[in-house]
């Protein structure tokens, strides 16, 4: 361990690694040394949940020799409240009354933990848990001007660096009255967290909180879909460029179609995402100006101002679903069968121009790779592909669930 005084001193290390014996006053200093060292190493690793077996066997291993007192140190840390077993944390999903009853029961009947039992489950370091919870609340408060906020469980877990860590942080915040877990079922289970930034008691979960959580989860799905579409666009563009350079015009045509469909799907998805985010921003602005009671009305008014209704969102989601499925069917069809000659003629002029551009650029002394890419992008954007009719089977896809959930939320608004 770097920075530990006399860590490499054999005499001092031998004394430290021995098991505790005698009165506590005889080994109090050694206990404080190991306690502080465990906290220091955990903080350096960015951990507040530790595996006691790993702490005992790996953290302080000196050439195969491990401290014989770590079990005792962890047991004392548990009895003094420095660590708690992760299994003893309150479930953040339970209500306040249930949590209060459990606290009273634990105070009345204190269950003792034996030394061998302290190694059986992971331990939560309480001081570091409090630090992490404070950091998470501060990060959330920097992005909100209101006294409370609602975030999806996915975002909360990302801030906490894992699901176990998020559960521990949420348990602590819930016990302090600073957070509530939200669970709603709209065809799927949607979970989130409501966090307070003020000293006042956290208000109970409202219908508006549930609606906001639903919209936030919808934006997460749309962002995920955009990432997939961006990957498809990039892949199709690179493949088309490579095919044109190698002279495979048929293959270039196939990738041009794929790029066109992916681009159109992305535009529709982006349009819907912008509209949903605009509603969320308007609600947030209303809350920040102490107009929480008017947030739903404001959200409905904004939808009218931007000329969007529940039916419009339903149609957008339906078109998005059909486009994505159509793209998949087109890709399969393109792989299994060649294009008719009539389709090729529609793109002959564009492909010839691309070919001429590539030949012209290859003859220049200075390379212009960036200009080539821009030219291809412009040419692909000008391609006018006809709509390909496909017979689609009904599938329970993610966009379908988004379609139904989006309509319900906006109708409620």
Which one-letter DSSP state was computed for residue 22? S
Q: Which pLDDT value is given to residue 78?
A: 93
Q: What is the 3-state secondary structure (H, E, C) of 249-307?
A: HHHHHHHHHHHHHHHHHHHHHHHHHHHHHHHHHHHHHHHHCCCHHHHHHHHHHHHHHCC
Beta-bridged to residue 50, according to DSSP, are: 123
Please tell me the predicted confidence (pLDDT) of residue 409: 41
User: In the predicted model, what is the mean pLDDT of the chain?
Assistant: 75
Question: Given this model, what pLDDT does residue 289 score?
Answer: 63
Is there a contact between 192 and 153 (Cβ–Cβ < 8 Å)?
yes
Q: Which domains are present in the chain?
A: 10-125 (no CATH), 127-207 (1.10.10), 214-412 (no CATH)
Helix (H, G, I), strand (E, B) or coil at 50: strand
pLDDT of residue 59: 92
User: pLDDT tens, 75-109?
Assistant: 999 999 999 999 888 877 665 555 555 555 554 44
Q: Is 198 helix (H, G, I), strand (E, B) or coil?
A: coil
Spans in the chain with pLDDT lower than 70 = 1-3, 93-111, 287-413
- Name the pTM for this structure: 0.65
Residue 132 CA to chain centroid, in angstroms? 18
Residue-level pLDDT at 154: 95
Number of H helices, E strands in the chain: 15, 6
């Amino acid at each position: 361990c770097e920075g530990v005084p006399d860590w490499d001193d054999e005499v001092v290390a031998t004394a430290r690694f021995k098991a505790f014996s005698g009165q506590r006053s005889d080994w109090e200093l050694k206990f404080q040394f190991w306690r502080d060292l465990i906290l220091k190493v955990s903080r350096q690793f960015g951990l507040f949940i530790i595996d006691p077996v790993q702490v005992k066997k790996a953290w302080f291993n000196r050439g195969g020799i491990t401290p014989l007192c770590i079990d005792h140190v962890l047991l004392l840390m548990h009895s003094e409240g420095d660590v708690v077993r992760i299994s003893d944390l309150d479930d953040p999903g339970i209500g306040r009354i249930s949590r209060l009853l459990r606290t009273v029961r634990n105070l009345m009947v204190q269950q003792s933990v034996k030394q061998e039992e302290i190694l059986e489950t992971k331990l939560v370091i309480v001081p570091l848990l409090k630090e992490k919870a404070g950091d998470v609340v501060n990060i959330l408060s920097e992005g909100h001007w209101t006294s409370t906020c609602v975030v999806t469980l996915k975002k909360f877990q990302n801030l906490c660096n894992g699901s176990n860590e998020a559960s521990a942080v949420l348990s602590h915040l819930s016990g302090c009255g600073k957070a509530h877990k939200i669970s709603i079922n709209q065809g799927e289970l949607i979970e989130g967290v409501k966090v307070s930034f003020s000293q006042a008691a956290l208000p109970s979960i409202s219908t508006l909180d549930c609606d906001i959580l639903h919209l936030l989860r919808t934006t997460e799905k749309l962002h995920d879909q955009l990432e997939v579409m961006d990957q498809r666009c990039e892949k199709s563009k690179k493949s088309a460029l490579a095919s044109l350079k190698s002279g495979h015009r048929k293959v270039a045509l196939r990738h041009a179609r794929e790029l066109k469909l992916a681009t159109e799907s992305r535009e529709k998805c982006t349009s819907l995402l912008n509209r949903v985010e605009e509603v969320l921003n308007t609600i947030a602005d209303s809350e920040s100006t102490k107009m929480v009671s008017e947030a739903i009305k404001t959200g409905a008014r904004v939808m009218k101002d931007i000329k969007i209704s529940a039916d419009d969102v339903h149609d957008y989601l339906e078109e998005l679903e059909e486009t994505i499925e159509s793209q998949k069917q087109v890709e399969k069809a393109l792989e299994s069968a060649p294009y008719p000659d009539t389709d090729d003629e529609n793109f002959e002029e564009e492909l010839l121009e691309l070919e001429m551009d590539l030949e012209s650029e290859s003859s220049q002394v200075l390379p212009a790779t960036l200009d080539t890419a821009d030219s291809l992008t412009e040419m692909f954007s000008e391609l006018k592909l006809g709509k390909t009719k496909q017979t689609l089977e009904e599938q329970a896809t993610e966009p379908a669930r988004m379609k139904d959930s989006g309509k319900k939320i906006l109708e409620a608004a």
